[in-house]
A and B are shown apart, each in its own frame.
Chain A
């Protein structure tokens, strides 16, 4: 049994990702895979803000309807809110997450870092080597605590903090806050009777090929620690150690969350005030720098999935950044084979909402063979994004990055969620059909 086509639905989730892949088999049977379901910011409806929970519930209902109430698999590429917030349930157990769970996915696929076993080990990992799996995962968990603090700072910043930094902190903080309900729901869906949970890394099996006859699914990322550690023979230190440093309770207090009651000795003397101001600005900048590093680290735990359907190739890299890509494309033992596979990609889900560091220019983009002028063979690209939320135009870090978007527009059939209206009766998604 082989699929004759794949339909890809790209939903309007603002700054977030939500894709439904429907594999069309003979006799009109279909199998559906949901890749990510989250948002951190939605476009406005006219001048009014849109309620996120309501909007996500509408999308969940649509997904249930399209899939006939049965999902073959759910994929959560990584733990950021803009990829999983839709899996959350309400306090009473309802909401968009409930609707998805009721579609009884047979498989829940996540990166290895989400394996609850790894997390349980991680809690006692403080005295462990900084390079172990456990402390890596505990570092990821620490990120959530940092995110809480950062979010609060961002929304009620001290006077000394520039507004632009506060806004970015709030946004990054929001994205990194642990979405307890969504995480639990994903675990529950995988633990359901008759369902399997798979935590994958580069080169491991996804479990999808078994459920989707005629489809091969390659897991290209993220690398496992034992894999990525080999990149450097003499690695000097480990990034994850400093997450732990940042995440102690004192750290949060120091970040201005719980101010120490005693300890201050009045006003800074006049001759030191200029430096006091500078110090405050530096502190804000340093904090933002740290949060960006942590945010990237989480992005790098993204699953990179390549679906091979007949001769067609569909690439879904989540928010993978350069470090994750470089393993798959340059350093892994099978990198040459991966390069060859990816050269022929027919549909590319643009990494990390079109940011500048998630579509490697030379390693990936330049090697896509099906870029070019309009034509039937030309590759398609899916961009799910919302401008004005992330990065800075002057520093050329805006998301989506202008130059990348121009290249996508000129050299691929670009399908962009920005073009989907938020009007109440407008369609919720683009549908792209790839005949096999």
Chain B
């Protein structure tokens, strides 16, 4: 299918829009288009108009010439907009399914994701799990012409990635530490940007822009593919050319990865404490790893006596590395803990997942490049091993009471396994435990053999009073405990007053009731990776009563996501639509200043 390679502002020399051709899973679409995983609803809610159910061309060859040529008129073609958004959502979904070796269902449990390509007048685009869909807004540019966010490759992939990440790690939208909130944004940007760079057409066009570097239109000098030069031509070049009207919608992650000098200090900089800014550090670390891998691959291919590479070769290498990185990062999700993710966890997960699926890293050296790039941005692997790979799971586990086949699909069976091994697996009593998912997956390894794995996630939650938490060694912020007490008392007085028909209560009417002491929840959990014999290979664990909980609660309180209520903690999550809005206006938070 033809799609716009990035957005309508990236043009070829002849003025036409730069297009790309995407392969998507074959299917017979209904009018809408409606497919087996995506349902496009072209309803503009701001004007109240239904814009019709579109029938897409059945194959690439049937597409109108204007689409393939990238004529400017396609921007106003609703049918094309529907195809563009459909193709990019399906492509992203298929990248996930391919990398993971299994079907990936949406988080909300129904089969089709609803997509509104021109859903509302707003300089915003977002994924809303509650509404089971993606909404792309449109808005007028300075000249009054409409800008459609659904025509931007990176924006569509970004939103789809939010939906897929939410499907694979349902707890990542919950309040946790600063990294987890930032990860949703950062990861969506990583996949979106790599997906743009995976298109050879676009990379070639970007490199061609700098005429002096290109000889005869087909060769590029060695010195113009140094890390510095590629940062400039590819990263910065793309950031410069992306539609500037869309800057508020997509944020500045790409530009920042070209500009943000590696410095371990960024993570501690208050400016990067806001989730929408913190994600930029992750993006910068990945994109710079990408550039390093690309340039060193090209350096290896230099021939003595020559001074330039074929341009196509350079573009293809870049695109191949981008594709490999996409696969790597999607696979990494299986190796990330189900709750309380940190950037260090993400790094260990990507290194481990890649080692398992692709032990030989000779060609691109991606693991080394990522390790180095992340270190330069101050992100160290969470694993204690020197190479950053997760440690192996304990081996003395009991398997005799569980059934091998059921362990691959059945939550109850996996729970029984947990229960039988709760001591060895360090599953804490006094917390509620639930298996969130059991997912069998199949991958083809480098040696041509298939790799079978089962990935199961469980989480734990305990709701404890301040004194119970203290007994577990978890400290609440003193200001929060004081607020809890005050809220409880104020609530008691209000209640007594209501019961007395509005009269003010006496001192004795508000009994201190230790039974109703307010509780605060703490979460933990793990992801379990079983090998093809059903034996536990890895266990990536976050202890529900662990030592990081005090710090996490302090962070949540400081940013205003943990609030004191009458009956205990109120944990306030963020909606992605609001997060995107905060990003577009670069909002600052003053959580401890409000009433």
A409 at interface by CB-CB < 8 Å: no
Complex: how many Å from CA A274 to CA B336? Answer: 35
Those of B256-293 within 8 Å (CB) of chain A: 256, 259-260, 271, 277
> Are B50 and A268 in contact (CB-based, < 8 A)?
yes
Those of A375-416 within 8 Å (CB) of chain B: 401, 403-404, 407
Those of A318-347 within 8 Å (CB) of chain B: 322-323, 325-326
> Are A276 and B49 in contact (CB-based, < 8 A)?
no
> Are A361 and B593 in contact (CB-based, < 8 A)?
yes
> Are B47 and A256 in contact (CB-based, < 8 A)?
yes
Q: How far is the CB of A239 from chain B (nearest CB, A)?
A: 4
Taking a contact as CB atoms closer than 8 A, the residue among A239, A251, A254, A286 that contacts B586 in the complex is A239
A residues within 8 A CB of B252?
236-237
A residues within 8 A CB of B50?
264-268, 276
Q: How far is the CB of B421 from chain A (nearest CB, A)?
A: 43
Taking a contact as CB atoms closer than 8 A, the residue among A249, A254, A363, A404 that contacts B121 in the complex is A254
B482 at interface by CB-CB < 8 Å: no
A283 at interface by CB-CB < 8 Å: yes
A91 at interface by CB-CB < 8 Å: no
> Are B142 and A244 in contact (CB-based, < 8 A)?
yes
> Are B585 and A239 in contact (CB-based, < 8 A)?
yes
- Nearest to B52 among chain A residues (CB) is A265
Complex: how many Å from CA A424 to CA B260? Answer: 65
A126 at interface by CB-CB < 8 Å: yes
> Are B124 and A250 in contact (CB-based, < 8 A)?
no
> Are B131 and A356 in contact (CB-based, < 8 A)?
no
Q: How far is the CB of A209 from chain B (nearest CB, A)?
A: 30
Complex: how many Å from CA A351 to CA B225? Answer: 57
> Are A362 and B593 in contact (CB-based, < 8 A)?
yes
> Are B133 and A265 in contact (CB-based, < 8 A)?
no
B residues within 8 A CB of A225?
none
A residues within 8 A CB of B588?
323, 326
Complex: how many Å from CA A232 to CA B588? Answer: 10
A residues within 8 A CB of B15?
none
B359 at interface by CB-CB < 8 Å: no
Counting chain B CB atoms within 10 Å of each CB, the highest count among A323, A325, A361 belongs to: A361
Those of B564-595 within 8 Å (CB) of chain A: 577-578, 581, 583-588, 590, 592-595
B116 at interface by CB-CB < 8 Å: yes
> Are B595 and A234 in contact (CB-based, < 8 A)?
no
Q: A322-B593, A356-B595 are in contact. Are A245 and B140 (CB under 8 A)?
A: yes
> Are A283 and B45 in contact (CB-based, < 8 A)?
yes
A92 at interface by CB-CB < 8 Å: no
B43 at interface by CB-CB < 8 Å: yes
Q: A260-B49, A275-B41, A283-B45 are in contact. Are A251 and B139 (CB under 8 A)?
A: yes
> Are B140 and A362 in contact (CB-based, < 8 A)?
no
B interface SS class: mixed
A163 at interface by CB-CB < 8 Å: no
Q: How far is the CB of B155 from chain A (nearest CB, A)?
A: 15
B residues within 8 A CB of A287?
122
Counting chain B CB atoms within 10 Å of each CB, the highest count among A289, A325, A326 belongs to: A289
A residues within 8 A CB of B259?
234
- Nearest to B112 among chain A residues (CB) is A271
- Nearest to A294 among chain B residues (CB) is B585
> Are A272 and B39 in contact (CB-based, < 8 A)?
yes
Task: Please encode chain A, from 123 to 147, with 1 for each CB lying within 8 Å of some chain B CB and 0 for all others.
Answer: 0001100000000000000000000
Task: Please encode chain B, from 130 to 172, with 1 for each CB lying within 8 Å of some chain A CB and 0 for all others.
Answer: 1111010001111010100000000000000000000000000
A188 at interface by CB-CB < 8 Å: no
Taking a contact as CB atoms closer than 8 A, the residue among B43, B277, B587, B592 that contacts A268 in the complex is B43
> Are A272 and B123 in contact (CB-based, < 8 A)?
no
> Are B47 and A234 in contact (CB-based, < 8 A)?
no
B residues within 8 A CB of A249?
140, 144
Q: How far is the CB of B189 from chain A (nearest CB, A)?
A: 13
> Are B116 and A275 in contact (CB-based, < 8 A)?
yes
- Nearest to A258 among chain B residues (CB) is B47
B residues within 8 A CB of A242?
123, 248, 584-585
B residues within 8 A CB of A360?
590, 593
A residues within 8 A CB of B581?
289-290, 293
A282 at interface by CB-CB < 8 Å: yes
Those of A358-378 within 8 Å (CB) of chain B: 359-363
- Nearest to A249 among chain B residues (CB) is B144
A residues within 8 A CB of B593?
322, 325-326, 357, 360-363
Task: Please encode chain A, from 20 to 51, with 1 for each CB lying within 8 Å of some chain B CB and 0 for all others.
Answer: 00000000000000000000000000000000
Q: How far is the CB of B55 from chain A (nearest CB, A)?
A: 13
Task: Please encode chain B, from 384 to 415, with 1 for each CB lying within 8 Å of some chain A CB and 0 for all others.
Answer: 00000000000000000000000000000000
A259 at interface by CB-CB < 8 Å: yes
Taking a contact as CB atoms closer than 8 A, the residue among B43, B142, B590 that contacts A127 in the complex is B142
A residues within 8 A CB of B277?
236
Q: How far is the CB of A293 from chain B (nearest CB, A)?
A: 6
> Are A250 and B595 in contact (CB-based, < 8 A)?
no
A residues within 8 A CB of B467?
none
B247 at interface by CB-CB < 8 Å: yes
Task: Please encode chain A, from 227 to 254, with 1 for each CB lying within 8 Å of some chain B CB and 0 for all others.
Answer: 0000011111111011011101111011
> Are A259 and B586 in contact (CB-based, < 8 A)?
no
A195 at interface by CB-CB < 8 Å: no
Complex: how many Å from CA A366 to CA B119? Answer: 45
B446 at interface by CB-CB < 8 Å: no
> Are A237 and B586 in contact (CB-based, < 8 A)?
yes
> Are B256 and A286 in contact (CB-based, < 8 A)?
no
> Are A234 and B256 in contact (CB-based, < 8 A)?
yes
> Are B271 and A279 in contact (CB-based, < 8 A)?
no
A residues within 8 A CB of B119?
279, 282-283
Complex: how many Å from CA A127 to CA B142? Answer: 8
> Are B47 and A254 in contact (CB-based, < 8 A)?
yes
B residues within 8 A CB of A362?
592-593
Q: A322-B593, A356-B594 are in contact. Are A283 and B144 (CB under 8 A)?
A: no
B residues within 8 A CB of A269?
53
Taking a contact as CB atoms closer than 8 A, the residue among A127, A238, A272, A404 that contacts B41 in the complex is A272
Q: How far is the CB of A338 from chain B (nearest CB, A)?
A: 16
A158 at interface by CB-CB < 8 Å: yes
> Are A246 and B45 in contact (CB-based, < 8 A)?
no
A280 at interface by CB-CB < 8 Å: yes
B residues within 8 A CB of A118?
none
A residues within 8 A CB of B245?
245
B379 at interface by CB-CB < 8 Å: no
B128 at interface by CB-CB < 8 Å: yes
Complex: how many Å from CA A283 to CA B139? Answer: 13
Task: Please encode chain B, from 32 to 52, with 1 for each CB lying within 8 Å of some chain A CB and 0 for all others.
Answer: 101000010101011111111
Complex: how many Å from CA A236 to CA B274? Answer: 12
> Are A286 and B124 in contact (CB-based, < 8 A)?
yes
B residues within 8 A CB of A232?
271, 586
Q: A266-B50, A275-B41 are in contact. Are A404 and B595 (CB under 8 A)?
A: yes
Q: A245-B140, A357-B593 are in contact. Are A279 and B43 (CB under 8 A)?
A: yes
> Are B586 and A282 in contact (CB-based, < 8 A)?
no
> Are B45 and A280 in contact (CB-based, < 8 A)?
yes
- Nearest to A263 among chain B residues (CB) is B49
A278 at interface by CB-CB < 8 Å: yes
Counting chain A CB atoms within 10 Å of each CB, the highest count among B34, B53, B120, B133 belongs to: B120
Instruction: Please name 8 further chain A to chain B contacts, defined as beta carbons within 8 Å, in addition to the given A248-B144, A279-B119, A361-B594, sorted by A numbering.
Output: A237-B586, A250-B144, A271-B34, A275-B114, A283-B119, A283-B120, A286-B124, A362-B593
| 23 sampled A-B residue pairs with Cβ under 8 A | A160-B45, A234-B271, A237-B584, A242-B248, A245-B141, A245-B245, A248-B140, A248-B144, A250-B140, A263-B49, A264-B48, A264-B49, A271-B39, A275-B41, A275-B114, A275-B132, A275-B133, A279-B116, A279-B119, A279-B135, A282-B119, A322-B590, A326-B590
- A residues engaging B (CB < 8 A)? 126-127, 158, 160, 232-239, 241-242, 244-246, 248-251, 253-256, 259-260, 263-269, 271-272, 275-276, 278-280, 282-283, 286-287, 289-290, 293, 322-323, 325-326, 356-357, 359-363, 401, 403-404, 407
**Closest 7 pairs (CB-CB, A-B):** A254-B121, A265-B52, A360-B593, A239-B585, A264-B49, A248-B140, A278-B131
